[in-house]
Amino acid sequence: MNDNIPSTRWLRIITPVLIACIISFMDRVNISFALPGGMEADLGITSQMAGVASGIFFIGYLFLQIPGGRIAVNGSGKRFIAWSLVAWAIVSVATGFVTHEYQLLVLRFILGVSEGGMLPVVLTMVSNWFPEKELGRANAFVMMFAPLGGMLTAPVSGAIIAALDWRWLFIIEGLLSLVVLAVWWFMISDRPEEARWLPQAEREYLVKTLAAERAAKLAEAPASKAPVKDVFRNPGLMKLVILNFFYQTGDYGYTLWLPTILKGLTGGNMASVGFLAVLPFVATLAGIYVISLFSDRSGKRRLWVRFSLYCFAAALIASVVLREHVVAAYIALVICGFFLKAATSPFWSMPGRIAAPEVAGSARGVINGLGNLGGFCGPYLVGVMIYLYGQNVAVCALAGSLLIAGTMTFLLPKKCDLATEVADDAVGKEPHSA
């Protein structure tokens, strides 16, 4: 691609995808502020039940993973996400009116179902718009939804709870989904061929380049009539599922319990906890960009996933070792934030490397769905460990899960990495992006 070809897709595709992902993140993690902000006391929730309430979302999250990925490949991801946004709004607002812990569990489960197709759909849509040499950076921008969502959720949630209460937190943030729906519907298109707003030169470049890449992959692995079955028969993809499970156990165990950990560490109120929780997510933003840059330049996807996971685990352990020194322990938690999502960009570049396009959509759903069972296990594990052994043991258990995930990278196939010449081309000929 030369510098004369426009880069409209970076704004018109990445922006609505990122905004939609941010609102989904806010809806799934605002419970982490509601629980210590009055919900536990009002509903009589124990630490064990708090772990279940935080994690049951990811059980529901399983159900639309594969259908979502297949719809994005063969149908309209745009319509799928639009209906999802309507569902998120209804469920989130309803959560503001719960009066019993079991009502909360049901609504959190339904929210998980509603959001289940989100990531496989948007990742497949992004792969429809960005050639291989741009895909790592495009995925990195998408994965910034977590730190950006955390940066917004932390101060906003803390302020709403301090000014009103935890019920208004769910109602206000739920209504934001309807605002995002308008942005999503009017900005995005499923594929370059369908986008009337796309400059002709950019459309021709994308259609030609993406078609050539698909043809090359089909030559290596002909299209399958049973893509879901092929996902489970692919050893490389199954290793990604296992890796993602242990990664998400550590990831969401940290994310959903961070406000409680900070409150226990500092003894502050929810407004101050919300303020302190911003910096780790600022660091997450930097971590995603830095690691994706190194990953794209070197082409060594497995190495940078491993490095990120090991560093995340080390920082968690450091936060426990330094617990008597509040500032040092907080700095360790910020370092955790840097590596929290750093592995996601190189990781999500791998399924397309080891699966044909027809299989990759379903593969992303399987990897995300089964892997995100760790999103249930992490919060639940922390809740049980806090109840039985205390917060420090719980944090160390999350570190152990991340070490297992990092070690899994040694077992991944070599073709998860970009060939040296491909990585060099991505650096030497990268387009100007908006």
280 token code pair: 């780790």
56-116-59 Cα angle (round to 5):
25
70: in domain: yes
Do the domain assignments include residue 191?
no
Q: Tell me how far apart the alpha carbons of residues 32 and 346 are, in angstroms, rounded to a whole number.
A: 28
434 located within any domain = no
Q: Nearest Cα to 261, choosing from 154, 360, 161? A: 154
* Domains of the chain: total: 1
E strand spans, 251-367 = none
Alpha helices in 188-223 (DSSP H): 200-220
User: Distance between CA atoms of 87 and 92, rounded to whole angstroms?
Assistant: 9
Q: Which two tokens stand for residue 136?
A: 């790592």
Residue 426 banded pLDDT, cuts 50, 70, 90:
very low
- Whole-number Å distance between alpha carbons of 293 and 310: 18
Model confidence, pTM: 0.68
Give domain status of residue 193, yes or no.
Answer: no
| % of the chain exceeding 70 in pLDDT | 90
Residue 150 lies in a domain: yes
The answer to whether residue 205 is domain-embedded is no
> Is the pLDDT score of 430 beyond 60?
no
- How far is Cα 413 from Cα 14, in angstroms, rounded to an integer? 29
Average pLDDT, the chain: 83
Q: How far, in Å, CA of 393 to CA of 405, rounded?
A: 19
Burial of 420 (0-12, 13-18, 19+ CB in 10 A): exposed
Nearest CA-CA partner of 18 in 142, 148, 151, 152: 142
The predicted structure's pLDDT at residue 387: 79
Express each pLDDT in 250-292 by its tens digit: 888 888 788 888 887 777 777 788 888 889 988 988 898 898 8
> Which amino acid would we find at residue 323?
R
- 150: CATH: 1.20.1250.20
Residue 48 has pLDDT above 70, yes or no: yes
CA distances from 296 to 110, 284, 352, 406 (A): 37, 18, 15, 19
pLDDT band at 108 (very low <50, low <70, confident <90, very high): very high
Q: Per-residue pLDDT for 243 more than 90?
A: yes
Give yes or no for a contact between 20 and 181, defined as CB atoms under 8 angstroms apart.
no
Dig out the tokens for 146 from the structure: 């977590």
Q: What percent of the chain has pLDDT over 90?
A: 20
Concatenated DSSP letters of 145-199: HHHHHHHHHHHHHHHHHHHS-HHHHHHHHHHHHHHHHHHHHHH--SSGGG-TTS-
Rounded Cα–Cα distance for residues 416 and 398 (Å):
26
Residue 208 is assigned to a structural domain of this protein: no
pLDDT-derived band at 1, boundaries 50, 70, 90: very low
Res. 357: pLDDT tops 70: no
Report how far apart the first and last C-alpha atoms of the chain are (Å, whole number). 15
For residue 134, being part of any structural domain is answered with yes
Q: What is the mean pLDDT of residues 39-50?
A: 85
Domain residue limits at 342: 8-186+226-428
Task: Reply yes or no on whether the pLDDT at 222 is more than 60.
Answer: no
Alpha helices in 341-418 (DSSP H): 344-348, 351-354, 357-371, 374-388, 391-408
Per-residue pLDDT tens over the stretch 321-353: 988 888 999 999 999 999 998 998 888 888 877
Rounded to the nearest angstrom, the gap between the alpha carbon of residue 156 and the centroid of all alpha carbons in its chain is 20
Residue 346's nearest CA partner among 288, 395, 278, 421 is: 288
Using 50, 70 and 90 to split pLDDT, how confident is the model at 358?
Answer: low
Q: How far is CA 135 from CA 396, 418, 430, in A?
A: 34, 12, 11
Above 60 in pLDDT, residue 433? no
Q: What is the mean pLDDT of residues 170-193?
A: 89
Looking at residue 424, its pLDDT comes to 44
Q: pLDDT at residue 360 above 70?
A: no
The pLDDT of residue 422 is 44
